[in-house]
Amino acid sequence: MCGIVGAIAGRNISAILLEGLKRLEYRGYDSAGMAVLNSQTGQLDHLKRVGKVAQLDAALTGSPLPGYLGIAHTRWATHGKPEQRNAHPHLSADRIAVVHNGIIENHTALKAELVADGYQFLSDTDTEVVTHLIYREVMAGKSLEVALKESLKRLDGAYALAVIDQQQPDLLLATRMGSPLVIGVGVEENFIASDPLALLQVTDRFIYLEEGDVAAITRSDIKVESLAGEPVTREVQRFEHGHDAADKGLYRHYMLKEIYEQPDVIARVLEGRIHQGHVLEQVFGSGASELFDQVKMVQIVACGTSYNAGVVARYWIEKLVGIPCMVEVASEFRYRKTVCMPGTLFITISQSGETADTLSALREAKEQSYLGFLSICNVAGSSLVRESDLAIMTNAGPEIGVASTKAFTSQLVVLMLTTLVLARRYGFDDEQEIVAQLEQLIGLTEQVLALDPQIQKMAEHFVDKHHALFLGRGTIYPVAVEGALKLKEISYIHAEAYPAGELKHGPLALVDEDMPVVAIAPNNSLLEKLQANLEEVRARGGKLFLFADSKAQVKPGNDLELITLPDVPTVMAPIIYSIPLQLLAYYVACLKGTDVDQPRNLAKSVTVE
Ligand code: G6P
């Protein structure tokens, strides 16, 4: 989704802004722009382009924007088409420039008011009202800071905003409510961005702004206040991940790099969390043990891939802990009347920690009598983490590919740790065995990655297909859903997943030679039943693409492509079997020539509803 970068320095900042935008490309966007206070002419110059940042870069070569103060943006269209006039920054009277992430919900009413006041709108965006509101306050004699605060009071909705004024060369304003924004702290220069990754080329020290913060930033000073004008202290934190995290190295795509990082990621998730075969409870945060003691039920809420991880956890929690576990997509949960049973732990799962629906679901849930709130998240300091009672990081490192891979496996590992700390309270005594199996995952993952050439070959069968069916049973059903999601996200092939037992209740009607059926069949108590389902597919002329282990008893034939995985402990199968499905989707997308890391219409972090 939209990305923000801003800088105030004693050197030319346009290359820094451009590099920041490139680093935010992975979030998904459709146009880009930049406004810089020209150090020679004193004018507020701007340039916008529809399409990729490369287009803006090319335009900047012909019309450079030299200056020491500037803001830049990648836009993912919500209000108004992806056209140059709708790209940010938006300007008022060539004096005030604004970039915005989020949605101003009452923009229609504000626009009517401003139009009545003589303001002309050049775009269809909700953002432009903010620009004119600030300008109007400035023209009424307010300082830029006060003008921004007065304008914010008029806004309903979510925002991260950066504002500059042509007449204030040493001031960059930044504020957030509902959308993330960080300040990158430099030496005699400072920066802002919607994601720290955008600024790793200039700093590794960050201030994470909190809801309602308004920051006045100069080259040498950062002042943060609440909307009401109270000074607030926000500590400077060092970014934990290495500088190469946002670099794809020798890999052709970030997605492939991230798939291959999974053995290291699993090792990182377990590091410091296990002691003598047991999960350490303090890694969930202070007060975790007391809270876990009272858990009688679990409610999980998430979106997309994170939701699929939650569905796997439901099987684990109900089997190993023996308490009820419900899972729901956040966009549904937040808008319906839900019933909270006493003793329910509310768990959110999110790679980014900023997904608008998940965050809103958490806020809704906080109005009810849940026992407590645990966030399973990949971004320390994210809104979800800050607003939860307990949090455990998935430690996957920055994930750049829009299609989530390593974040999913890391979530699964953390969900298993969570399952174990709950299960020990309900008399489960195989914790050491499961922990040993978790430790074996690293080697197993490497073995599965070694199947890459076979999977690459299998992908060739999908290139000319328009649909695909994925089947699994039990804990493997959500793995099938995730496999189908990966395929549709990056190869644009319509893919559906079904619990294999549902085959006869509809999807069997679709099976013919043009409908590849991907079946995920590790050895478990449902294997025989699944094998019967697969024969039903073959009997209808369907071609099977089977991921199974040495226990699978399937008749060889021209209608079967089999990839044999190593034998894995049953509970670990969802983690291991996800990986070949990621590779399958990846290679199909490569063969189809799609934009693997930035698939059309999708965004990495969905910070608007
Ligand atoms: C978007 C991303 C998905 C992700 C989902 C939830 O749709 O493209 O990869 O699973 O958001 O995001 P979260 O950051 O909350 O896990």
* Ligand 1: centre distance to CA 536 (Å): 35
* Ligand 1: centre distance to CA 5 (Å): 22
CA distance 189 to 185: 7
Q: Whose CA is nearest to atom 7 of ligand 1?
A: 304
pLDDT score recorded for residue 243: 47
Q: Whose CA is nearest to atom 4 of ligand 1?
A: 304
Catalytic residue among 111, 486, 543, 604: 604
Alpha-carbon separation of residue 140 from 44, 107, 134, 282, 369 (angstroms): 21, 21, 10, 54, 47
* Ligand 1: centre distance to CA 134 (Å): 33
Strands 182-185 and 190-193: antiparallel
Q: Is 410 in the pocket of ligand 1 (CB under 6 A)?
A: no
Centre a 10 Å sphere on the Cβ of residue 608 and count the other Cβ atoms it contains: 18
Q: Is 303 in the pocket of ligand 1 (CB under 6 A)?
A: yes
* Ligand 1: centre distance to CA 471 (Å): 23
For 142, residues 6+ apart whose C-beta sits below 8 A from its C-beta are: 150
pLDDT score recorded for residue 368: 96
Give buried/exposed letters for 174-213 (b at 16+ CB in 10 A, else e). Answer: bbbbbbbbbbbbbeebbbbbbbbbbbbbbbbebbbbbeeb
* Ligand 1: centre distance to CA 387 (Å): 19
Q: Is 355 in the pocket of ligand 1 (CB under 6 A)?
A: yes
Q: Is 598 in the pocket of ligand 1 (CB under 6 A)?
A: no
Strand residues in 59-170 grouped as ranges (E):
67-75, 90-92, 96-104, 157-165
Which of 352, 382, 405, 412 is the best mutation target for the ligand 1 pocket, counting ligand atoms within 8 Å of the beta carbon and taking the most? 352
CB-side exposure of 487: number of CA atoms within 13 Å? Answer: 28
Which of 362, 604, 608, 609 is the best mutation target for the ligand 1 pocket, counting ligand atoms within 8 Å of the beta carbon and taking the most? 604
Domains, the chain, ordered by start: 3-238 (3.60.20.10), 248-428 (3.40.50.10490), 442-598 (3.40.50.10490)
Q: Is 358 in the pocket of ligand 1 (CB under 6 A)?
A: yes
Among positive and negative, which fits the CA dihedral 473, 478, 480, 484? positive
Q: Is 378 in the pocket of ligand 1 (CB under 6 A)?
A: no
Q: Whose CA is nearest to atom 8 of ligand 1?
A: 604
CA distance 463 to 376: 36
pLDDT score recorded for residue 245: 61
Q: Is 306 in the pocket of ligand 1 (CB under 6 A)?
A: yes
CA distance 103 to 571: 42
* Ligand 1: centre distance to CA 245 (Å): 19
For 61, residues 6+ apart whose C-beta sits below 8 A from its C-beta are: none
* Ligand 1: centre distance to CA 482 (Å): 12
Q: Is 602 in the pocket of ligand 1 (CB under 6 A)?
A: yes
Q: For residue 208, which of 216, 197, 196, 198 has the smallest C-alpha distance?
A: 196
Q: For residue 356, which of 124, 177, 108, 234 has the smallest C-alpha distance?
A: 177
Atom of ligand 1 nearest to the CA of 355: 15
48 is annotated as an active-site residue: no
Q: Is 604 in the pocket of ligand 1 (CB under 6 A)?
A: yes
Which of 301, 306, 379 is the best mutation target for the ligand 1 pocket, counting ligand atoms within 8 Å of the beta carbon and taking the most? 306
* H or E element, residue 419: helix 406-423
* Ligand 1: centre distance to CA 40 (Å): 43
Q: For residue 182, which of 239, 227, 97, 220 has the smallest C-alpha distance?
A: 239
Q: For residue 397, which of 249, 284, 594, 276 has the smallest C-alpha distance?
A: 249
Q: Is 606 in the pocket of ligand 1 (CB under 6 A)?
A: yes
CA distance 185 to 166: 23
Angle CA 43–45–46, to nearest 5: 160
* Ligand 1: centre distance to CA 13 (Å): 31
pLDDT one-digit tens code per residue, 496-554: 999 988 988 988 888 888 899 999 998 877 777 778 888 888 888 888 999 999 887 77
CA distance 320 to 331: 28
325 is annotated as an active-site residue: no
- Residues of the chain under the 70 pLDDT cut: 241-246
Catalytic residue among 2, 303, 377, 590: 2
Which of 1, 2, 305, 485 is the best mutation target for the ligand 1 pocket, counting ligand atoms within 8 Å of the beta carbon and taking the most? 305
Q: Is 394 in the pocket of ligand 1 (CB under 6 A)?
A: no
Q: For residue 259, which of 91, 120, 408, 475 has the smallest C-alpha distance?
A: 408
* Ligand 1: centre distance to CA 307 (Å): 9
Q: Is 350 in the pocket of ligand 1 (CB under 6 A)?
A: yes
Which of 76, 179, 303 is the best mutation target for the ligand 1 pocket, counting ligand atoms within 8 Å of the beta carbon and taking the most? 303
Atom of ligand 1 nearest to the CA of 489: 8
* Ligand 1: centre distance to CA 43 (Å): 40
Q: Is 352 in the pocket of ligand 1 (CB under 6 A)?
A: yes
Q: Is 360 in the pocket of ligand 1 (CB under 6 A)?
A: no
